[in-house]
A and B are shown apart, each in its own frame.
Chain A
Amino acid sequence: MIDQFPALQIMVPLVAAPICVMIRNPRWSWVCAMVASTLAFLISIILLQQVMANGVIRYAVGGWAAPSGIEYYIDAMNAAVLVLVSGISAVVLVYAYRSVAKSVPAEKHYLFYTAWLMCVCGLLGIVITGDAFNVFVFLEISSLSMYTLISFGQDRRALTASFRYLVLGSVGASFILIGIGFLYAATGTLNMTDLAARIPDSESQRAVLVAFSFLTMGVLIKSAVFPLHAWLPNAYTFAPVAVTAFLAGTATKVSLYVLLRFFFSVFGKDYSFGQHLLNGVLLPAAVAGFVLMSLVAIFQNDLRRMLAYSSVAQVGYIVAGFSLATQSGLTAGIVHVVNHGMVKASLFMAVGCILYRVGHVHTPSLDNLMKRMPFTCVAFIISGMGLIGVPLTVGFVSKFTLIEASLEKGWWAIAALVLLSSLMAIVYVGRVIEIMVFRRSRETGPESSGMCEAPLSMLVPLYVLVGVSLYFGINGSATLEVAGRAASFLLGGLQ
């Protein structure tokens, strides 16, 4: 049974999705999605434990051996991402029940949960598979269901946002497909391990290079690296907030995982960062991203939009960490993938709570919110500190590692800019906190001073996530160890 877990990881949400469609009842379809998601989470934890204990797991789907058949390949790196994706999915699903009930018409709920499950399935598939073409397939599954999820948003602008994402996402996906095609042409294989082995000996290096370029661009679009981020702010702003929380925690992170997988495992570190001037594109883009997007975030008045731009900035940190191409840089990047996933998900969940009660998230109008929604605000403040990188939060662990890594490589300017953008994070998070906590309400009517906290079913998952992120903030070595193991796997190439 336990040998089949890699397959079950995908099959459980994949099978649960049509069941949801068949159930049609909002409540039961939620239960179905919940059960599937929880199962996937448990499976991913077990897989992580196995990987940490026994090393890499290889699973041949359908019994077809690697080069010809599809292979699932699990090392510390993707096991951690699996846990992240399925975990956030499970937690946010709990939260989604009330949130979705308010924002999505009841007759569409089963479709929502179906799309959710498909999305989870796609994301998990991208992560778990060891086959290049399979990555594209799962990417399409997740992307299509994501467009659907985003279009569930209340606002009509959600449709435009979804459409733009669709166009750009399709472009990205086709770039990836083109890249994989070139790779296949150059090497005659789609299995990542085989690719890694054959690329150096390939006779058509030019084809490999073109493949590399297309793959890079495609993945960068999907992971919303500045300046290819333009689809993200609107999508995050207008999607149902539960979807935003889920996507912010998982979607871009999975794309980043793909980036890592191709750069380090398939092409190899030396190829990606060696003579090919990726440094000239990726690092400047990342640095410009975290500086400019933090600046933009300062001036946003919509809380969701501010957090969306902050997400783009955080992606910048992660990519900057990857660009260092050292053990500590990779560790920093991977740790930030996990940490930022948790922090941003919890922040969006807190925003969802506010939206649920207040009906809007226009920052200047949130004055004196602390009186009315103390628990939500406290959760927001704790997570916000994580975003800034206050010591004893996860943000501190990853930013500290990132600065350490850039200093280790002697890139002082990067370290300075990271600190600078952290200062900006203080400004944009601090501004919200200042308004929430210290600014006196302009209309001090009795109705506005009463307490109206979000429902427990939203608060509990929120606090679970906050608690987990606090735990990893205080016990930073836990995540750092996994990330460090993953980084050394990546730098060592596929076994």
Chain B
Amino acid sequence: MTNLLAPPFLYLIAALICPFLSSRWRALLLLGVPVFGLMIMLAYPVGDHVVWSVVGFDLTFMRVDRLSTLFGIIFSIAALLSGLYAWHVRDTVQQVATLAYAGAAIGGVFAGDLISLFLWWEGTAVASVFLIWARRTPASTATGMRYLLVQVLSGVLLLAGLLMHYHDTGSIAFEHLGLVSPGTFLIFLSFGIKCAFPLLHNWLADAYPAATLTGTVVLSAFTTKMAVYALARGYAGTEVLIYIGALMTLFPIFLALVEDDLQRVLAYSLNSQLGFMVVGVGIGSELSINGSAAHAFCSVLYQGLLFMSVGAVVYRTGTSRASQLGGLYRTMPVTMLCCLVGAASISAVPLFSGFVSKSLILDASGYNGNYVVWLALLVASVGVLVHTTIKVPYLTFFAKDSGKRPAEAPIHMRLAMILTASLCVIIGVFPGLLYSLLPYSVDYHPYTFDHVLVQLQLLLFALLAFVVLKKLGLYPRMVQSTSLDTDVIYRKWLPDRLPAVTQWVVNLNACARQMALGWLGTGYGMVERLTRPGAPLARGWSVASMMFVVIVLMCAVLVLNLL
């Protein structure tokens, strides 16, 4: 019975009873369950708990160690904060989905074997898609379908991989796997989809802006961080991850820069931040794993904060398009300040949370000796500044006045944002609090003079560049548009060309058939000309010609025999 109080099941049970409560109690449940769950989670001692034997497999549902606990804590905090942020929501579907989604993500983090991991993996996919469908527009339904397709594909790959892995090794334990066999490669690919590796990333920027404004906040916290956790658990020190991660930090910068929809900009910057974590996992040293875990922790907070502030703007203005916003600081100063805190955190301004976590990864990659990757991360840090830190707050709250005078965000949103912002600042100011939670013991001091100096140089000169560009009129102005990503290939180009290809195949078939029939007809005609009654082969030969044949054949036989 107490097993059912294990955090993942607690969330699921809450999701089950949620539909039967009144709206006020549902909203309270969204606050209460994460708090209660966090308390239970912290009460578990290190080790394997809640082991159920199902058809000969021991499924471990609570594998508690420092790594999983860290992710469990941040997921609980994210669930609490997004619950507070969504206090106004009366939509049962979203509330149930949020609980189930958070439960599944926490379950995935605590899963001690691949089978239960697979269950939670699919659980996050199924639960989260309702946050997109809850927007209840035709476009969100279609987007949700695409999202679900990709997520379920990831689950199927995981299942296939775990079956092959089990066949190879006879073990379903979810420990370090490494890229050693086809099975582990499939599992890697499955993790890569959820972690939004380059070219597997399209679902992220496609789906997050399509969810409800509260749903986007929820979505931003769980799926990708669970994938980072899974990579850190299964593929720490896999070298290819370093390069994947470096690429992953860089290429969303460009996509985010040209993007008009601020929620999608944030989705791309989330993708870029994931790249930092993937690099950390790929390096695999204690420092870098710590960095990845810490960065995941902080990024849940500051990314959530940014999504919250943009969500609040959407809540009041109905749009998240940079081209339609501007000058909102006049009436939404609290949201603006929280957004600035989030922006400062993401670009690792000293005294904000990003600074204390990103430094770990940057230093780890510097010590690793892979200078190209190190430089890539540095450029990505500048990129974050370009597309998120400056672009999002500046275009939303300053810049050209859009004439909009929306009211300040509702009090619960303000509370959620202020709480999150405080956490960002607290972690930034007292990094020891975060470091004490990290998987490996830490002896790292982010606030050295060197470190602060170079970071300030980097940031302030970038800001200077912004000012200069602005003065020169080179800084681009946003226009209402859609920007293409690589998914245009399968969303537009291929479907557009499909009728032509189909037509081509049909034509080819018709052509080939006609040609074959033509040949057949010609062949038949030749045969018929040769064999129909009265034709050379079928008429009565004259005596002379018969004799001719006899003589010719006689000669042939004689010659052949006498030779």
A and B touch in the complex (CB under 8 A): yes
**Chain A contact residues, CB within 8 Å of chain B:** 160-161, 163-164, 167-168, 171, 175, 206, 209-210, 212-214, 216-217, 220-221, 227-228, 230-231, 233-234, 276-278, 280-281, 292, 295-296, 298-302, 305, 309
Say yes or no: A217-B554 contact (C-beta < 8 A), given A230-B546, A299-B528.
Answer: yes
In the complex, residue of chain A having the shortest beta-carbon distance to the beta carbon of B558: A213
The B534-556 residues at the A interface (CB cut-off 8 A) are: 535, 537-538, 540-541, 543, 545-547, 549-550, 553-554, 556
Is A276 in contact with B537, judged by CB distance below 8 angstroms? no
Say yes or no: A206-B562 contact (C-beta < 8 A), given A230-B541, A281-B557, A299-B533.
Answer: yes
Q: Within 8 Å CB of A164, what residues of B?
A: 540, 543, 546
Give A103 Cβ to nearest chain B Cβ, in Å.
21
Is B558 in contact with A277, judged by CB distance below 8 angstroms? no
Give B541 Cβ to nearest chain A Cβ, in Å.
4
Say yes or no: A168-B546 contact (C-beta < 8 A), given A230-B541, A300-B533.
Answer: yes
In the complex, residue of chain A having the shortest beta-carbon distance to the beta carbon of B554: A217
Alpha-carbon distance A300/B535, docked complex (angstroms): 11
In the complex, residue of chain A having the shortest beta-carbon distance to the beta carbon of B534: A299
Q: Within 8 Å CB of A276, what residues of B?
A: 560-561
Which of A281, A300, A302 meets B560, CB within 8 Å?
A: A281
In the complex, residue of chain A having the shortest beta-carbon distance to the beta carbon of B536: A296
User: B527, B530, B543: which has the most chain A beta carbons within 10 Å?
Assistant: B543
Q: Within 8 Å CB of A216, what residues of B?
A: 557
Q: 8 new A-B pairs (CB below 8 Å) besides A228-B549, A299-B533?
A: A168-B550, A230-B545, A277-B561, A278-B561, A295-B530, A301-B533, A305-B533, A309-B538
Instruction: Pick 9 A–B contacts, CB within 8 A, sort by A.
Output: A175-B554, A213-B557, A221-B550, A233-B540, A280-B560, A296-B538, A299-B538, A300-B533, A309-B538
Q: Within 8 Å CB of A278, what residues of B?
A: 557, 560-561
Q: Is B532 an interface residue (CB 8 A)?
A: yes
Give A64 Cβ to nearest chain B Cβ, in Å.
34
Give B278 Cβ to nearest chain A Cβ, in Å.
60
Alpha-carbon distance A163/B535, docked complex (angstroms): 22
Is B561 in contact with A209, judged by CB distance below 8 angstroms? yes
The 3 closest A-B pairs by CB, nearest first: A230-B541, A277-B560, A296-B531
Is B550 in contact with A171, judged by CB distance below 8 angstroms? yes
Q: Within 8 Å CB of B537, what residues of A?
A: 292, 295-296
Alpha-carbon distance A227/B528, docked complex (angstroms): 19
Q: Is B563 an interface residue (CB 8 A)?
A: yes
User: B540, B543, B553: which has the most chain A beta carbons within 10 Å?
Assistant: B540
Give B423 Cβ to nearest chain A Cβ, in Å.
81
Is A230 in contact with B540, judged by CB distance below 8 angstroms? yes
Is A228 in contact with B557, judged by CB distance below 8 angstroms? no
Q: Within 8 Å CB of A161, what residues of B?
A: 540
Which of B532, B538, B541, B554 meets A213, CB within 8 Å?
A: B554
Q: Within 8 Å CB of A299, what residues of B?
A: 528, 531-533, 535, 538
Give A164 Cβ to nearest chain B Cβ, in Å.
6
Give B106 Cβ to nearest chain A Cβ, in Å.
68
Main secondary structure of the interface of B (DSSP, over half): helix
Q: How many residues of B contact A (CB 8 A)?
A: 26
Alpha-carbon distance A281/B550, docked complex (angstroms): 13
Is A298 in contact with B531, judged by CB distance below 8 angstroms? yes
Which of A167, A214, A230, A281 meets B549, CB within 8 Å?
A: A230
Is A231 in contact with B546, judged by CB distance below 8 angstroms? yes
Q: Within 8 Å CB of A234, what residues of B?
A: 540
Give A7 Cβ to nearest chain B Cβ, in Å.
36
Is B533 in contact with A302, judged by CB distance below 8 angstroms? yes
The B380-399 residues at the A interface (CB cut-off 8 A) are: none
Say yes or no: A212-B561 contact (C-beta < 8 A), given A230-B541, A296-B537, A299-B531.
Answer: yes
In the complex, residue of chain B having the shortest beta-carbon distance to the beta carbon of A172: B550
Give B399 Cβ to nearest chain A Cβ, in Å.
82
Q: Within 8 Å CB of B550, what residues of A?
A: 168, 171, 217, 221, 228
Is A213 in contact with B553, judged by CB distance below 8 angstroms? no
Say yes or no: A168-B527 contact (C-beta < 8 A), given A221-B550, A301-B533.
Answer: no
Q: Within 8 Å CB of B558, what residues of A?
A: 210, 213
Give A365 Cβ to nearest chain B Cβ, in Å.
15
Q: Within 8 Å CB of B553, what residues of A?
A: 217, 220, 227-228, 281
In the complex, residue of chain A having the shortest beta-carbon distance to the beta carbon of B527: A295
Give B559 Cβ to nearest chain A Cβ, in Å.
9
User: B531, B560, B563: which has the most chain A beta carbons within 10 Å?
Assistant: B531
Give B311 Cβ to nearest chain A Cβ, in Å.
75
Give A232 Cβ to nearest chain B Cβ, in Å.
10
Alpha-carbon distance A305/B533, docked complex (angstroms): 9
In the complex, residue of chain B having the shortest beta-carbon distance to the beta carbon of A235: B540
In the complex, residue of chain B having the shortest beta-carbon distance to the beta carbon of A300: B533
User: B535, B541, B561: which has the most chain A beta carbons within 10 Å?
Assistant: B561
Q: Within 8 Å CB of B528, what residues of A?
A: 299
Give A124 Cβ to nearest chain B Cβ, in Å.
27
Which of A160, A280, A295 meets B531, CB within 8 Å?
A: A295
Alpha-carbon distance A295/B537, docked complex (angstroms): 10
Alpha-carbon distance A220/B552, docked complex (angstroms): 14
Give B527 Cβ to nearest chain A Cβ, in Å.
6
Contact with A along B501-535 (1 / 0, CB 8 A): 00000000000000000000000000110111101
Give B510 Cβ to nearest chain A Cβ, in Å.
28
In the complex, residue of chain A having the shortest beta-carbon distance to the beta carbon of B541: A230
Alpha-carbon distance A160/B539, docked complex (angstroms): 13
The B231-280 residues at the A interface (CB cut-off 8 A) are: none
Say yes or no: A217-B557 contact (C-beta < 8 A), given A206-B562, A277-B563, A299-B533.
Answer: yes
Alpha-carbon distance A216/B558, docked complex (angstroms): 10
Give B526 Cβ to nearest chain A Cβ, in Å.
11
Give A60 Cβ to nearest chain B Cβ, in Å.
34
Is A300 in contact with B540, judged by CB distance below 8 angstroms? no
In the complex, residue of chain B having the shortest beta-carbon distance to the beta carbon of A276: B561
Q: Within 8 Å CB of B554, what residues of A?
A: 175, 213-214, 217
Give A57 Cβ to nearest chain B Cβ, in Å.
34
Q: Within 8 Å CB of A296, what residues of B?
A: 531, 537-538
Give B535 Cβ to nearest chain A Cβ, in Å.
8
In the complex, residue of chain A having the shortest beta-carbon distance to the beta carbon of B552: A227
Is A168 in contact with B543, judged by CB distance below 8 angstroms? yes
In the complex, residue of chain A having the shortest beta-carbon distance to the beta carbon of B532: A299
Q: Within 8 Å CB of A302, what residues of B?
A: 533
